[in-house]
Amino acid sequence: MRDCSQSWGVAQLVAELRTIRLQSLENRQRRDHPPKLPSRKVLSQIVDQLGAALFPNRLGMPELNDEGIDYFVGHTLDSLLKRLQQQIALELQFVAEQRGSTADVQVQSRQITCEFAGLLPGIRQTLDTDIQAAYEGDPAALSPDEVLVCYPGIWAVIHHRVAHALHTLGAPLVARVIAELAHSATGIDIHPGAQIGESFFIDHGTGVVIGETAIIGNRVRLYQAVTLGAKRFAKDENGALIKGNLRHPIVEDDVVIYAGATILGRITIGRGSVIGGNVWLTHSVPPGSHISQGLTRNDLFAEGGGI
């Protein structure tokens, strides 16, 4: 038992932790040059700026007039894209050091950022369909503006649309940080690799999980605590997990999945299907299916009958 009567033993703890750090070859090599990774704080600010640029009157500065909107959008985009390039460069430099590569990270990060910028009009148009789907799908929503500023599902989807674009363009670490910002804020966990179509609506949202290789069609609606996950994790001959294999569901157009449903494996939920609450599903279902839990019996027994 430690003697804590006089002090916390901080000096001894520091020495023990230093010894553990230095026992690792990787850390010995990095001791004088620790890796510089993308900043969660900076990326949070960048996504906030992106929201303001995409929706200047609602997520930016409400007092903007018509003459000032374009200036605000242009200035905001110029600032955030420069900062985004810096974060992408940090990721690319980290990867290059891991691989012993001599890649020109500044050229690559600028190209990725430029291509991402070119996708922003399309991202804005897709987000408009998501907002409209949420407004039309929730009788409690009073306006699309309320949906944009209040709904956690939309906040998560904004992050996902941005993160997925960056993931596809070659900045998966930056994308993952952005996805986890939304996860922390909303409880909605969407891997940036997931492919999601237009008019996507997550109602309530808390506890939703969408895996890396999931494919979701257009006009799909999910409720809280839905999981689109993997059934099993394949391993190689050395017992290590195999990365990147297709292991998450395909959800076709116009599917509704109610609260608490768990859908696992590379299965297909056919177009127009409805998956009921708390269903556990590990096999494909054809278009137009209605899947629910088995019905519970509701018999009345008198005087101990049926016991």
Write the CATH number for 46: 1.10.3130.10
Rounded to an integer, the average pLDDT of 260-284 is 96
Same domain, 138 and 225: no
**What are 146-195's pLDDT values in tens digits?**
999 999 999 999 999 999 999 999 999 999 999 999 999 999 999 999 99
Tell me if 251 is assigned to some domain.
yes
- Does residue 173 sit in the same domain as residue 50? yes
Asked if residue 17 belongs to a domain, the reply is no
CA 148 remoteness from chain centre: 17
Q: Identify whether the C-beta of residue 119 lies closer than 8 Å to the C-beta of residue 161.
A: no
- pLDDT single digits (tens) 70-118: 899 999 999 999 999 999 999 999 999 888 887 799 999 999 999 999 9
Residue 42's domain comprises 33-188
Are 120 and 255 within one domain?
Answer: no
Q: Does the residue 24 lie in any domain?
A: no
Same domain? For 107 and 50 the reply is yes
Together in a domain, 45 and 181:
yes
- Would you say residue 148 lies in a domain? yes
Query: For the chain, what is the radius of gyration of the CA atoms?
Result: 24
- Same-domain check for residues 213 and 176: no
On whether the CB atoms of residues 133 and 221 are closer than 8 A, the answer is: yes
3-state secondary structure at position 242: coil
Domain identity same for 211 and 101: no
Same domain (yes/no): 161, 63 = yes
- Asked if 244 and 283 sit in the same domain, the reply is yes
Let me know whether 180 and 235 are in one domain. Answer: no
pLDDT in tens, 10-42: 888 888 888 887 776 555 555 556 678 999 999
pLDDT band at 306 (very low <50, low <70, confident <90, very high): very low
User: What's the number of domains the chain is made of?
Assistant: 2
Nearest residue to 170 via CA among 190, 191, 193: 193
Task: Count CB-CB contacts under 10 A for residue 54.
Answer: 22
CA dihedral in degrees (130, 276, 208, 221; nearest 10)?
Answer: 0
User: How much is the mean pLDDT over the chain?
Assistant: 90
